[in-house]
Structure 1
Amino acid sequence: MTQAPTPTADTVRRLVRSLLKEGPADAGGPDVRPVAEGAVPAGAVPATWWVGTRHVLRLAPDRDGTLRQRRELRLRDLVRPHLPVAVPASAAHGEWAPGLTYTLDAKVPGGSGEVHDVSAVGEADLAGVLTGLREVPLRQAEALGVPRTGPRSLEELRRAAERAARALAAADEFDRARLAQLTPAATGQLAAQPGAPVLVHHGLAAEHLVVSADGRVRGVLGWADAVVGDPAEDIAGLATAVGSPAAVRAATLAGYGARPCLRGLWLARCDTVTGLAEALAGRPAGAAAPVLRTRLRHAWEPILLERVTELREDGEDGDDDLL
C-alpha cells in the first residue's frame, strides 16, 4: 500500500491558491495554519487548516477518512433544511492526493463552544438542533451510508466507570462515591426504550458547537460520525459540552422525557470517568487530560432530575411530572 503524503503548509497553500479566485495579492498566497483541536491526539498530522479568515480546509488522511468525508458532504446537505442553526457548506471539494479527498468549507461565524458559554436562548437553539435531527428522514440518511447502531449497555458502562473511578480516586481526581447513584437497578430502568431511532450527530462536543459572544448557538460542525441510533447519545454529548443542566433543559424543550434525559446524563458521566482514567494511565483517549477534566466537570453538574428516585414503569407518560 502506498503511504499517504504528509500535508504541510506548502501543500495546503498550493491547493487553496488553485481554488480561491480572490485573496491576498502577495505571491505567498493565503495565510494557512493548522486548527488546534483538543480531539487530535498528540503527534498527529494536522488534517484541518484555517485558510485566511473565511475558510476551513479539511484533508482526509486515509481511505476511510475519504469515505467518511464524502458521506459527510452529502449528509450535511440532507440535514441543513431541518436545523435552525448553520451547517457548514463546501465551497470546493475534490482530491488533494490520489484517492484522498478534501473539502474547503466556508467558516461559520462565531467562536467555539470551548470559548463562549451557551445562554438560555442558546439552549433553545440546541433544542432546535435535537428536534431537527429527529425530523431527518432516516431512509434518506441510510441511503447515504449513515450506519445504524444499537444502544449501548449502561450496565457495562457503569462497571467500566466503577473500575475507572477507583483509579481516579487513588489519584485524587474523583470521588468514587458519586457513582453510587447509578445502581444496577437504575441502569435497568434507564435502558434504551423500544421505539424509532433518530439521526444522531454523535459528536456534539464543545469544539463542534459554534457559539456567538451573546451565547447563541450559530452552527454545528463535525458530521462525520453521525449514525442512526439512540438519541440519548446526543444528550450525553451536550452534557459534556455545555453542562448537564443545560443539556437536560435543551432536551426537555425538544420533547424528550425523563428517561432519555437521565440516560444521556449517565452515558456522559460514565464516559467521562472512563476517558479521564484512560488518559491518566497513558492510554489514547482522543483528547488531552485538561479537556477530559472539563468534560467530566460538565457531565457531573447536578440536575433536578437526579432527585427522582423512581421512574414509572408504563413508558414515558407523566414524565413532565418528574421534571
Structure 2
Amino acid sequence: MTQAPTPTADTVRRLVLSLLPNGGAAGAGPHVRPVGEGGEHSSWWVGARHVLRLAPDRDASARLRRELRLRDLVRPHIGVAVPVSVAHGEWTSGLGYTLDTRLPGTTGEQQGVSAIGENDLAALLTGLREVPVRQAEALGVPRATPRSLEALRSAAASAAQRLAAADEFDPARLAQLKASAAVQLAAQPGVAVLVHHDLRGEHLMVSADGRVRGVLDWTGAVLGDPAEDIAGLAVAVGAPAAVRAATLAGYGARPCLRGLWLSRCDTVTRLAEHLRDGETGPVPLLRIQLRRAWEAILLERVTELPGDD
C-alpha cells in the first residue's frame, strides 16, 4: 500500500494553484485551511467556494473515483444537491484527489432541519430507492449484507450496563426491544436499494430556514438495507424527524422501526466503547446522537408486529 505523505498547507496551495491559477491575489492562490470535521479523506477548504479532498491510500482513492461517477448517477433522482467536481486526478503517486464545489448552508450538526426540510429528506430517501441497482453495481458500488438486529441488541445490552455504571444511560430503555421483535424486524430478503450509508449530520447541508440543500461524501455508498439510512437520519436529525421522512418516502412500519432500533443499538454501543477506551474528543457528540436516536416516536407506541409480546 502506498504510504501517503502528510499533506501540508503548502502542498495543498501548490496543487490548488495548478488547478485554479486565477484563484488568488498576486498569484498567492486562495486561502486554504483544514476541514475540522475529519473523515477518511484529508479535506481542505479552498477559499469560499471549493473543498479539496485528498485520498490517504489506494482503497480510498478507488472509492473517491467511484464517488465521482456515483454522484452523476444519483443527481437526477434525489431532489437535493450533491457536490460537483471541478478537477480531479492524483495529488501524489497513486493517490487521488477531487476539488469540489462547496454546497451552500451549514452542516446538520449546526443547523436543525425544519418540517419542510423533512420533505427534502423524504425526497432523498425516495430518490435513493429509484436509482437503478444495476447501474450502481456497474459503477462498482458493493452489496452489503443486512446486519443482524438481534446481534446488535445483544451487544447494546452489554454496552448499556457499562453506561449505567457510568450514570450515562438507563438499560431498562433497551428492554423495549424484545428478542421476538428483533427477529420480526429482520431485513426483508431481496430488498436492496442504493444506501448512502453515512447520513451523519456533518454530511447534510442545511440552510438557515431548515431546508436540506445537499448531501456530502458518497464514498461509503452500498447496495443494501434502506433501514441503514433511516438509522443514519435518526442519529443526525432525531428519531421523529427521520421516521416522518421515511414514512413520507413510502416506507412502512417495519423498515422505520428497524432503522430506529439500528440507530439506538449503535449509539449505545459507540458511546460505551469510547468511554471504555478513555476517548474524550467525540463523547459530547456521541451523547447528543444517543439522545436524538432515543427520542420517542408515536409509531413504536402503536405498532404491533406479528409475534410481538
Query: Does TM-score exceed 0.5, indicating one fold?
Result: yes
Distance of 2:260 and 2:209 partners within structure 1:
26
For residues 14-25 of structure 1, what are the structure 2 equivalents within 5 Å? 14-25=14-25
The alpha-carbon distance between structure 1 residues 48 and 2, as it changes in their structure 2 partners (threshold 3 A), is closer
Distance of 1:265 and 1:278 partners within structure 2:
20
Question: What is the aligned length?
Answer: 307
State yes or no: 1:29 paired with 2:29. yes
For the residue of structure 2 that corresponds to 1:26, the secondary structure is: helix
Amino acid of the structure 2 residue aligned with 1:4: A
Q: Taking structure 2 as the reference length, what is the TM-score of the superposition? A: 0.96
Q: Match of 1:209?
A: 204
Alignment partner of 1:234 out of 229, 236, 241 = 229
Amino acid of the structure 2 residue aligned with 1:25: A
Q: Match of 1:159?
A: 154
Distance of 1:180 and 1:309 partners within structure 2:
16
Distance of 1:3 and 1:265 partners within structure 2:
39
Amino acid of the structure 1 residue aligned with 2:16: V
Q: Taking structure 1 as the reference length, what is the TM-score of the superposition? A: 0.92
Contact 1:38 1:291 in 2 (8 A): no
Q: Name structure 2 gaps, 5 residues minimum.
A: none
1:22: Cα distance to partner? Answer: 2.5
Distance of 1:149 and 1:3 partners within structure 2:
28
1:309: Cα distance to partner? Answer: 5.3
Q: Match of 1:221?
A: 216
Q: Match of 1:297?
A: 291
Q: Match of 1:134?
A: 129
The alpha-carbon distance between structure 1 residues 131 and 48, as it changes in their structure 2 partners (threshold 3 A), is same
Cα shift readout 1:148-168 (whole Å, capped 9, x = no counterpart): 011100000000000000000
For residues 1-323 of structure 1, what are the structure 2 equivalents within 5 Å? 3-37=3-37, 47-282=42-277, 288-308=282-302, 310-312=304-306
Distance of 2:202 and 2:36 partners within structure 1:
10
The alpha-carbon distance between structure 1 residues 19 and 39, as it changes in their structure 2 partners (threshold 3 A), is closer
Aligned-residue CA RMSD (Å): 1.6
Distance of 1:291 and 1:7 partners within structure 2:
27
For the residue of structure 1 that corresponds to 2:181, the secondary structure is: helix
Contact 2:2 2:57 in 1 (8 A): no
The alpha-carbon distance between structure 1 residues 63 and 15, as it changes in their structure 2 partners (threshold 3 A), is same
1:253: Cα distance to partner? Answer: 0.1
Q: Percent identity?
A: 73
Amino acid of the structure 2 residue aligned with 1:293: R
